[in-house]
Amino acid sequence: MTTTRTPHRTRPSAQPPTLKARRLPRYAAPAIAAAALTVAAAVVYGTGTGGPVLVVVVGALLYLAGLFAAANRVEGRRSARNRTWSALIHSAFVLAVLPLASVVWTLVSKGAERLDADFFLTSMNNIGARDPNGGAYHAIVGTLQQVGIAALITVPLGILCAIYIVEYGRGRFAATIRFFVDVMTGIPSIVAGLFVLAFWVLIVSPWFNDGRPSFSGFAAALALSVLMLPTVVRSTEEMLRLVPAPLREGAYALGVPKWKTILRVVLPTALPGIVTGVMLAIARAAGETAPVLLVAGGGAAINFNPFENNQSSLALFVYQQAGDASRYAPARAWTAALTLVALVLILTVAAKLLARRNRLGR
């Protein structure tokens, strides 16, 4: 009896399960953004309800809605929420950068008109309303001298005050210092100028000027130091508190005195943050107008002596030129503003590089 064998049928192999989830293609987000802006522009300009700013706002809202709908359909609700919040975070970043970029573009575009040697090498002395020449050399000199003197006064005093608060200060005296530093942080610049005007210009300066009150760049530096001091103290205090306690304890365990530990361990560790705080204070002082106008008086001539006669500054120069009726004044004001921003930027970068070099050297 013969038996017949049925041929063995091979089952098709099943596809291995995959853990890869479905995702939107890379071009989806840019395509949704382009479509959202197109629709927003058509709606806004078609109805005549606004301009480019409204187009961007409406386009952003449409983009978020479209991105959520597309991601919810393809990737699921959880991934859609993640994409939407990520887009909101990026939008917030762009929203924060746009004003800065707008300011920089405006300064560069309008300030480039008078970026010439005449602007940086001449003053406004004997310059009339119909004269296109004239520069800010006297204001640049005044700014450098006033801010430099204010920094020489404020930086050592502020750092020493912060060291006392963090390392030595206990009890009511330290709490009183902190309180007055916090109060000085909110003092308007005009109040600082009035204080120096009442004390230095009207009371002290007559002793050195044959009994007559005298404006000077040094008086402006004193007013600026009043504004800089709380910023330096608070920023240095916070940086000193961030220094790890084991660094101090290790130095104490090796028998190093406290003053040398502060000088050799604590301050070098906190130096980058201290430099940042100092440069913030310098940037604020360099842009102040009211104190300089009150106690230095301003002036059109070059004055290299900060202890005698009127002296101008870049911020005061911008204020005066912006209110001048001459048609050449706005260009000078924009170029002076660009010069002031560039000057603060150069000083900040140089200070950062110097602090980094000192830290690496150790």
User: For the segment 76-100, what is each residue's pLDDT rounded down to a tens digit?
Assistant: 888 889 888 988 898 888 878 888 8
Asked if the model's pLDDT at residue 315 lies above 90, the reply is yes
CA-based diameter of the chain, in Å?
Answer: 143
Q: How far apart are CA 196 and CA 199, in angstroms?
A: 5
Residue type, 277: G
pLDDT classification of 298: cutoffs 50, 70, 90: confident
Provide the residue count of the chain: 362
Q: Using CA atoms, how far apart are residues 177 and 172, in angstroms rounded to an integer?
A: 9
| Amino acid symbol at 254 | L
* Residue appearing with tokens 């300089």: 292
Q: Angle at CA 243, nearest 5°, toward 237 and 249?
A: 120
pLDDT at residue 46 above 50?
Answer: yes
Confidence band (pLDDT; 50, 70, 90) for 198?
very high
pTM above 0.85, yes or no: no
Distances (CA, A) of 60 to 100, 165, 239: 20, 48, 39
Distance CA 355, CA 276 (A): 10
Compute the radius of gyration of the chain from its Cα atoms: 32
Question: DSSP letter string over 298-334?
Answer: --SS----TTSS-B--HHHHHHHHHT--STTHHHHHH
Residue 356 has pLDDT above 90, yes or no: no
Residue 1: what pLDDT? 46
Question: φ, ψ for residue 247 (rounded to 5)?
Answer: -65, -45
